[in-house]
């Protein structure tokens, strides 16, 4: 039986699952953020803004489109019910019979350890709501939930009471989602029992691997002085470890960026960190999502592009290219995957990616890298992009991957291989013809 | 007394405008619904477990109360809350099994085969299913964590609820729910579920009473800010208002009969228990006959704008056609009529603080016999600024008391006025 069309990267959590101060990531002031949320989550306000935009010539057509997209993003994000959001994305894939969507639950409760409001733990409700969607016969064949895990979760055993509880056929969660930019290193020892179990059971892990997104909101000093930076286990003699230690050392010295969380939080999600994990768990199946992000992809080809070089906001010691590093990790380790989610909304970056993968690069085991690249959209966070609509992204994908065989691998086979584990073994082969998909060649077994 | 009566009348109508504006804003932003959501979330927020308060909103009984995906129900009855909560906790306690053949997740045991609700809870809180089958839905259970009477008859839902609670991590919230189960089991051995429902209902109603208190405090703050906004937009300086009324017997003579009539109408409506306090004040204003003096002053444009804003909010909230919305507008129109009688409200160049920005001599329309107070009031100086700011703040603070307070006050002052002898002739105080 051929694999179904799979979106390997989507979110359906709402603003109710984020701490009250979450909007501060966008709007600096707490009160302003609260009022902005109040205002913008009203249909009437959004309608009024759209109406004003139509008649006021202050903004260019592109800016108007961006504002409209932000309004759409807020509309989805402030929905009360995750099931409704899932219904929304699932409908976009109705043309792909038996489609699957990997829904990533995300721990947003520890974005500021000093903020007392962060005591309001919401991940359990977020996860339980998704678990209920998985149990709903209407959706259960289409949703593949991943469990959000954060080493700072306390009050229970993270492996037995959280991961093993939900990652079972009876609960339906089939992978783990981590988000280091929220304020922890992937090589945090508290994660090791989970990595060990995941490696033993081929359980897939998804991690955020771009410089953008949401970040830890507390101060740099609050992290630095509490021993949360799990650096003591790093070996200065090891080349990778030494690089990480050096990066942190330079960051401590560079006081001017201590208040710029979107910059210094890069140390958590840096691809180097996964090298440490993969050294201890070489067979760990992990997807470094977004291929480092569109900016990194474009930067990798900067010399060849005619456009002028953009001035980087990052200090020199944080300017290494995540895209090329992720490709290196994919080549070096057998189970390192990546996806094109979010990056898909950028045409220039996608051209560079497709051009590269068309050359059929292989890893050190002679396995084509494309077999470890997955289709994903990062729904609904892409709503803010001009071409961020789910349907637009599907079209972009089909337009980029003109070779049907490549498209089939990225959207069907790679995610299928990624999702298979000892907990969710592959289906036994059947003789029944595969369901026809819209992509030419989509119904052909590799 | 006459001046005070007129002041109370003006504050009563202004507070009606503030209440109307507050109510329209609250409806638009769903403040009540949001407060209910936050309170229910907080009720079940123990920092560790699933938040049943949030989960309630996905329950079909409550989900169906929503107008759209963004809105929340304004009110959840205690019966609906209890029913939905028991379901949510019971569903949390359910176990499912994945059937590889059908590829479906099925609740276990199947509902028709459930009649052996006999999980034995270990001391660590985990539930172990009893191996011995049972064939009745009512059977005594003896969990080790919960202390339940042995002769207790348990139905399936009660059993599921227990399973849900036992599945929780150990926190004060879990203890609270466990205690409720034990109390229910101890006081009604025949039908503990019924008793549990009562326990939950009492708990919920107590919380709702507290919400009522919080909402009142919160609304008071909002009324103050909206009062301040109204005072600034309509330029209502209480000190100047008092001074004007004190010095203008003609104006008082026009206002007094209106105050009497309004108080009478309000007094009659007081006995109508079908109306809320706000509805009474609104109705009283609608029923009162305000004589509009179109020759004295033009309608205030700022007030007109405030009324238009209320209209827009109402229409955005799809409430334009409701009787309440219509009453609100009529009531605020009455204020417009009152202003037409010559009350110093609104922004005009012959009125402070607008007059401060102009050269005093340029105010050519000033009557030649402008009394002393009014002359000095039109000029800018430190004291005038101080009195103006104080006047605005007094207005905002007074209006935050709400319309029912001022209408009650009006009734009392009118009664006092009627009890005391009316002065034969009001002396002119302007000189």
Interface probe, candidates A19, A77, A124, A173, chain B, greatest B C-beta count within 10 A:
A124
Please report the pLDDT score of residue A145 as a whole number: 97
The pLDDT value recorded for residue B281 is 84
B345: left (phi over 0), alpha (psi -120 to 50) or beta: beta
List the single range of A60-69, A147-156, A366-375, B29-38 with lowest mean pLDDT.
Answer: A60-69
Length of chain A: 446
Which chain B residues have a beta carbon less than 8 Å from that of A44? 28, 316-317
Tell if the CB–CB gap between B69 and A81 is shorter than 8 Å: yes
Give the pTM: 0.77
Across-strand partners of B108? B95
Backbone phi, psi, residue B394, to 5°: -60, -40
Question: Tell me, what's the pLDDT at A435?
Answer: 44
Give the chain B residue nearest A20 (alpha carbons): B38
The mean-pLDDT minimum among A40-54, A75-89, B8-22, B403-417 falls in: A40-54
- Looking at residue B363, its pLDDT comes to 57
Is some CB atom of chain A closer than 8 A to the CB atom of B429?
no
Whether residue A9 is predicted with pLDDT greater than 90 in this model: the reply is yes
- A343's CB contacts (< 8 A; 6+ apart) are A210, A290, A291, A293, A294, A297, A349, A350, A353
pLDDT for B191: 86
Residue in A with minimal Cα distance to B101: A427
Burial of A360 by CB count in 10 Å (0-12 exposed, 13-18 middle, 19+ buried)? exposed
**Predicted confidence band of residue A372 (pLDDT cuts 50, 70, 90):** very high
B46: distance to nearest CA of chain A, Å? Answer: 8
- Residue B422 pLDDT more than 60? no
**Residue pLDDT, tens place only, B195-215:** 999 999 999 999 888 888 888
Q: What pLDDT, on the 0 to 100 scale, is given for residue A193?
A: 96
Which residues of chain B does A42 touch, with a Cβ-Cβ cutoff of 8 Å? 28-29, 70
Cα torsion for A2, A8, A14, A19, to the nearest 10°?
140
Mutate to test the interface with B, among A80, A132, A136, A166 (most CBs of B within 10 A): A80
Measured between CA atoms, how close is B380 to chain A, in angstroms? 35
Site from B96, B107, B167 to mutate, A interface, most A CB atoms within 10 angstroms: B96
User: What is each CA distance from B421 to B2, B387, B415, B424, in whole angstroms?
Assistant: 12, 33, 12, 9
* Mean pLDDT for the stretch of residues A413-419: 95
The reply to whether B383 touches chain A by the CB within 8 Å rule is no
Residues 155-194 of A with CB under 8 A from B: 155-156, 161, 168-172
pLDDT tens sequence across B135-179 = 444 555 544 566 777 777 677 888 889 989 998 988 899 999 999
- Which among B45, B66, B107 has the least Cβ separation from residue A120? B45
Chain A residues touching residue B66 (CB < 8 angstroms): 80
- A75 near B CB under 8 A: yes
How many Å apart are CA A191 and CA A258, to the nearest integer? 26
**Rounded-to-integer distance, Cα A213 and Cα B106, Å:** 37
Supply the pLDDT for residue B316: 57
Query: Which pLDDT does position B335 carry in this prediction?
Result: 74
Query: What does the pLDDT read at residue B132?
Result: 43
Question: Are A12 and A85 spatial neighbours (Cβ–Cβ below 8 Å)?
Answer: yes
- Give the A:B interface size as CB pairs under 8 Å: 79
Paired strand residues for A145: A103
Q: Does A351 touch chain B (CB under 8 A)?
A: no
Task: Note the pLDDT of residue B424.
Answer: 47
The verdict on B83 touching A (C-beta cutoff 8 Å) is no
Residue A21's pLDDT band, with cuts at 50, 70 and 90, is low
Which chain A residues have a beta carbon less than 8 Å from that of B48? 121, 124, 155-156
Q: What are phi and psi of B140, to 5 degrees?
A: -65, 145
Contacts of B317 in chain A (CB under 8 A): 44
Q: Could you tell me the CA-to-CA distances from A396 to A340, B202, B335 in Å, in that order?
A: 11, 57, 60
Rounded to a whole number, what is the largest CA-CA distance in chain A?
64
**How far apart are alpha carbons A291 and A336 in whole angstroms?**
11
Query: What ipTM was estimated for this complex?
Result: 0.75
Please state, in angstroms and rounded to a whole number, the distance separating the CA atoms of residues A145 and A174. 6
């Amino acid at each position: 039986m051929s694999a179904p069309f799979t979106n390997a990267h989507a979110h359906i959590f709402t603003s109710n699952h984020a701490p009250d101060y979450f909007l501060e990531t966008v709007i600096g002031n707490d009160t302003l953020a609260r009022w902005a949320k109040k205002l913008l989550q009203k249909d009437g306000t959004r309608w009024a803004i759209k109406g004003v935009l139509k008649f006021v010539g202050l903004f260019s057509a592109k800016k108007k489109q961006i504002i409209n997209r932000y309004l759409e993003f807020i509309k989805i994000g402030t929905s009360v019910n995750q099931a409704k959001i899932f219904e929304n994305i699932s409908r976009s894939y109705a043309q792909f019979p038996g489609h699957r969507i990997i829904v990533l639950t995300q721990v947003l409760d520890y974005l500021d350890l000093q903020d007392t409001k962060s005591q309001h733990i919401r991940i359990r409700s977020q996860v339980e709501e998704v678990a209920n969607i998985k149990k709903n016969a209407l959706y259960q064949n289409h949703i593949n939930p991943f469990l959000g895990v954060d080493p700072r979760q306390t009050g229970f055993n993270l492996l037995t009471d959280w991961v093993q509880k939900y990652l079972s056929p009876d609960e339906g969660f089939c992978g783990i989602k981590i988000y280091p930019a929220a304020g922890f290193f992937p090589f945090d020892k508290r994660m090791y029992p989970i990595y060990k179990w995941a490696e033993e059971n081929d359980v897939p892990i998804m991690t955020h691997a771009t410089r953008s997104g949401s970040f830890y909101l507390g101060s740099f000093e609050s992290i630095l002085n509490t021993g949360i930076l799990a650096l003591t286990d790093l070996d200065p003699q090891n080349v990778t470890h030494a690089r990480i230690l050096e990066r942190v050392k330079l960051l401590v010295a560079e006081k001017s960026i201590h208040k710029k969380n979107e910059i210094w939080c890069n140390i958590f999600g840096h691809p180097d960190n996964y090298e440490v994990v993969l050294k201890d768990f070489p067979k760990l199946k992990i997807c470094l999502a977004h291929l480092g992000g569109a900016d990194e992809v474009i930067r990798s080809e900067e010399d060849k592009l005619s456009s002028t070089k953009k001035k980087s906001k990052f200090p020199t010691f944080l300017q290494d290219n995540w895209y090329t590093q992720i490709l290196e990790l994919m080549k070096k380790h057998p189970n390192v995957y990546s996806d094109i989610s979010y990056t898909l909304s950028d045409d220039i970056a996608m051209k560079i990616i497709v051009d590269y993968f068309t050359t059929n690069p292989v890893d050190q085991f002679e396995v084509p890298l494309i077999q470890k690249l997955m289709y994903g959209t990062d729904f609904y966070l892409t709503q803010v992009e001009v071409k961020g609509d789910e349907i637009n992204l599907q079209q972009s994908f089909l337009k980029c991957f003109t070779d049907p065989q490549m498209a089939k691998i990225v959207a069907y086979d790679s995610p299928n291989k990624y999702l298979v584990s000892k907990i969710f073994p592959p289906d036994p082969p059947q003789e029944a013809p595969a369901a026809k998909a819209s992509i030419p060649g989509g119904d052909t077994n590799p | 007394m006459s001046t005070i009566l007129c002041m109370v009348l003006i504050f009563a109508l202004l507070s009606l405008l503030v209440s109307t504006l507050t109510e329209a804003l609250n409806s638009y932003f769903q403040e009540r619904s949001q407060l209910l959501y936050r309170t229910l979330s907080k009720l079940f927020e123990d920092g560790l477990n699933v938040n049943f308060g949030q989960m309630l909103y996905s329950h079909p009984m409550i989900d169906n109360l929503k107008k759209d995906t963004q809105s929340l129900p304004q009110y959840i009855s205690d019966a609906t809350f209890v029913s939905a909560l028991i379901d949510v906790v019971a569903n949390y306690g359910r176990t499912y099994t994945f059937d590889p053949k059908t590829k479906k997740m099925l609740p276990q045991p199947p509902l028709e085969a459930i009649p052996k609700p006999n999980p034995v809870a270990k001391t660590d809180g985990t539930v172990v299913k009893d191996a011995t089958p049972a064939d009745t839905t009512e059977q005594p259970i003896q969990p080790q964590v919960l202390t339940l009477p042995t002769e207790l008859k348990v139905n399936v839902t009660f059993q599921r609820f227990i399973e849900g609670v036992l599945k929780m991590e150990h926190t004060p919230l879990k203890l609270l729910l466990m205690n409720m189960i034990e109390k229910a089991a101890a006081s009604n051995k025949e039908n503990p579920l019924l008793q549990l429902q009562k326990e939950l209902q009492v708990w919920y109603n107590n919380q709702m009473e507290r919400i009522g208190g919080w909402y009142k405090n919160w609304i008071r703050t909002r009324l103050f800010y909206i009062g301040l906004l109204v005072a600034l937009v309509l330029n209502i300086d209480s000190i100047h208002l008092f001074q004007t009324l004190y010095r203008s017997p003609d104006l008082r003579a026009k206002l007094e009969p209106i105050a009497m009539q309004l108080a009478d109408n309000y007094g009659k409506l007081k006995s109508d228990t079908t109306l809320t306090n706000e509805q009474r004040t609104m109705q009283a204003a609608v029923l009162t006959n305000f004589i509009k003096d179109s020759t004295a002053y033009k309608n205030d444009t700022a007030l007109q704008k405030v009324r238009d804003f209320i209209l827009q909010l109402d229409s955005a909230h799809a409430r334009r056609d409701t009787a309440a919305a219509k009453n609100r507008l009529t009531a605020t129109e009455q204020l417009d009529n009152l202003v037409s009688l010559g009350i110093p409200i609104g922004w005009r160049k012959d009125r402070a603080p607008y007059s401060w920005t102009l050269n005093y001599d340029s105010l050519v329309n000033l009557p030649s016999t402008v009394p002393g107070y009014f002359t000095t009031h039109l000029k800018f100086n430190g004291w005038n600024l101080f009195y103006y700011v104080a006047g605005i703040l007094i207005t905002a603070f007074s209006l935050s008391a709400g319309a029912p307070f001022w209408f009650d006050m009006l009734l009392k002052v009118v009664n006092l006025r009627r009890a005391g002898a009316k002065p034969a002739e009001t002396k002119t105080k302007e000189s």
